[in-house]
Structure 1
């Protein structure tokens, strides 16, 4: 079937139902009536000869066919949007646009304060949503435009995803200010005699420092495994446990605790942080502006 015979607005409705999981919420999102959304869905069902969505309780669950076409539909819609925006200038000072940025929670505390300070000065009406997106879904969400950019470590993504190095971080060790066994310096023997906190969102598995220790045939004792560095820093301030973590975040989170920040007494790889975006917004004025704000914000942290 030739594209000229298809109403492309139907695919906007399709994406809205897929994203919202509900005809009611899709109608609110698109500012259309529920009968109008239902009529568009019926036309799509005839076009594809497939129900596309099946009701399960209050949720519209996509069929296998709908799941197979959502990514190319989103990429196509994103391409049209970029083309339309490309003929317009992006005026940050008057824009009311909202950007979505994938950002691991470990980076939020160091990146967001300077970034939002810059955005507030240059674009007082622009909004920013930060999300934690699974790394397997990162490329498809950038392609679909549900994400404008992402900040993460070096990832094995396709050539459709552009990247630039934002910053290089180091690893440090935190112990409480009056730790009885540590006075300003820490060697490897001392590091191994301490009991440690491992901070990770995963239920199990070693940290980067454990990999490096294993290369030397060594192992540390993990006394506590927790999810967030803020909680870990607070535990450090009230116990004799040690915490190994990225230096940039340590300088921010540790301000109210006053723990000692020491060098890691073993060879550790640097922690490289990258900014990612899709090739289809490479020259998009709004994306260029956002990437510039992120780059400048990270440089001052």
Structure 2
């Protein structure tokens, strides 16, 4: 069937139902009536000769065919959006655009203050939404345009995803002031291994980067506490003799109210590099290019 005989608006309905898992929520998202959404779905079913979605309780579950076509459909829709936005110049000073950025919670505290300062100055009417997205879903979200960009560590993504390295970071160790094992603000590897440590991770198990590096030298530290957030860990450090190993940039932000000592890690560690990711289909999108420039400036 030639594309001229197909109503392309049907594919925005397909994407909405797939995303929302419900005709009711899809109708609210698209500001259409439920009968209009149902009518569009029926036309799609005729077009593909497939039910596309099957009701299971209150959820519209996609069929195998719907799962196989959703990513090409989303890429095509995103291409149309980029073409339309590229046809008009992006004027940051007057834009009311809303951007979505995927960023791990570990990076939020260091990225957002300078980024929002830049955005507030040059684009006062734009808004920014930061999200934590599963790394398995990152590529599809960028392709669909539900994410404009992402900041993360080096990831194995396809050639459709562009990346640029941002400023790196070093690893430091936090201990409380007056710690009995720390003399003259100097931390040796021997003392580091003698300390008891906090490991901060959202994962239930598994070593940290510093543990991997220690194991390469046949060394191991003692983990006394495993917790989820650096803020909590910094507070524990201030009230105990436990030590915390973490990124330097974040340490200087989170530690301000606790005044723990920040010491160099007495172990050679690779720089903690982070990357900016975006989809190839927005390479030349003026708005996305502007956002990437703001992020790069904030991370310098």
The TM-score range, normalised by the shorter chain, is over 0.9
Deviations, residues 233-277 of structure 1 (Å, cap 9, x unaligned): 111111110000010100110111100000111111111111111
- Name the structure 1 match of 2:235: 234
- Name the structure 1 match of 2:209: 208
SS at match of 2:129: strand
- Name the structure 2 match of 1:112: 112
**Moved >6 Å (runs of 4+):** none
Name structure 2 gaps, 5 residues minimum.
Answer: none
- Distance of 2:131 and 2:72 partners within structure 1: 22
- Name the structure 2 match of 1:224: 225
Deviations, residues 199-232 of structure 1 (Å, cap 9, x unaligned): 1111111111111111111110000111111111
- Name the structure 2 match of 1:2: 2
Deviation at 1:69, TM superposition (A): 1.1
- Name the structure 1 match of 2:39: 39
Deviations, residues 152-201 of structure 1 (Å, cap 9, x unaligned): 11112222211111101000000111211113110011000100011111
Deviations, residues 83-110 of structure 1 (Å, cap 9, x unaligned): 1111100111221111111101100000
TM-score by length of 1: 0.97
- Name the structure 1 match of 2:295: 294
- Name the structure 1 match of 2:84: 84
- Distance of 1:56 and 1:160 partners within structure 2: 34
- Distance of 1:155 and 1:38 partners within structure 2: 39
Higher mean C-alpha displacement, 19-28 vs 187-196: 19-28
- Distance of 1:175 and 1:57 partners within structure 2: 53
- Distance of 1:55 and 1:279 partners within structure 2: 35
SS at match of 1:133: coil
Higher mean C-alpha displacement, 104-113 vs 131-140: 131-140
Higher mean C-alpha displacement, 50-59 vs 215-224: 50-59
Deviation at 1:136, TM superposition (A): 2.0
TM-score by length of 2: 0.97
- Distance of 1:129 and 1:94 partners within structure 2: 19
Q: CA RMSD in A?
A: 1.0
- Name the structure 1 match of 2:277: 276
- Distance of 2:60 and 2:159 partners within structure 1: 34
- Distance of 1:203 and 1:115 partners within structure 2: 31
- Distance of 1:287 and 1:208 partners within structure 2: 32
SS at match of 1:213: helix
Deviation at 1:298, TM superposition (A): 1.2
State the number of aligned residues.
299
SS at match of 1:219: coil
Deviation at 1:57, TM superposition (A): 2.1
- Distance of 1:158 and 1:29 partners within structure 2: 30
SS at match of 1:94: coil
- Name the structure 2 match of 1:243: 244
Higher mean C-alpha displacement, 258-267 vs 138-147: 138-147
- Distance of 1:239 and 1:64 partners within structure 2: 55
- Name the structure 2 match of 1:55: 55
SS at match of 1:243: strand
- Name the structure 1 match of 2:11: 11
- Distance of 2:220 and 2:99 partners within structure 1: 43
- Distance of 1:293 and 1:114 partners within structure 2: 9
